[in-house]
Amino acid sequence: MYKPTRLYRMPRHEVFWLEDGNITLEASGILFRVHRSWLVRHSEFFATIFNDKGRHIGYDTVTGIDEDEQICYLTKLEGKDLEALLLFYDNPVVCCGDIRFSTLVSLIHATTILGFEADRLQALKLLADDWPSDLDRLHAGSELRSNAAQVATLSRACGINGMLKPVFYEMARTSGFGLGDVDESSNSKILSK
| pLDDT confidence of residue 62 | 59
Domain assignment of residue 38, yes or no: yes
Domain assignment of residue 109, yes or no: no
Per-residue pLDDT, averaged over 132-146, amounts to 72
28-61 burial code (b ≥16 CB/10 A, e <16): eebbbbbebebbbebbebbeebbeeeeeebeeeb
Per-residue pLDDT, averaged over 116-145, amounts to 82
Domain boundary among 78, 105, 123: 78
How many Å is the maximal CA-CA distance in the chain?
75
Per-residue pLDDT, averaged over 140-152, amounts to 77
The answer to whether 107 and 85 have CB atoms below 8 angstroms apart is yes
Residue 11 sits at the vertex; the CA angle it makes with 8 and 13, to the nearest 5 degrees, is: 125
Average confidence score pLDDT of the chain: 78
| Total count of domains within the chain | 2
The answer to whether 65 and 54 have CB atoms below 8 angstroms apart is yes
Q: Is the pLDDT of residue 186 over 60?
A: no
Provide the residue count of the chain: 193
pLDDT band at 191, cuts 50/70/90? Answer: very low
Most confident of 62-76, 150-164, 167-181: 150-164
Domain assignment of residue 24, yes or no: yes
Domain assignment of residue 111, yes or no: no
CA–CA distance from 72 to each of 1, 67, 119, 141 (Å)?
A: 11, 9, 21, 44
CATH number of the domain where residue 14 is located: 3.30.710.10
Cα separation, 167 vs 155, in Å, equals 10
Domain that holds residue 12: 7-78
Domain assignment of residue 124, yes or no: no
Domain assignment of residue 138, yes or no: yes
Domain assignment of residue 158, yes or no: yes
Q: Is the pTM of this model over 0.75?
A: yes
Cα separation, 191 vs 186, in Å, equals 9
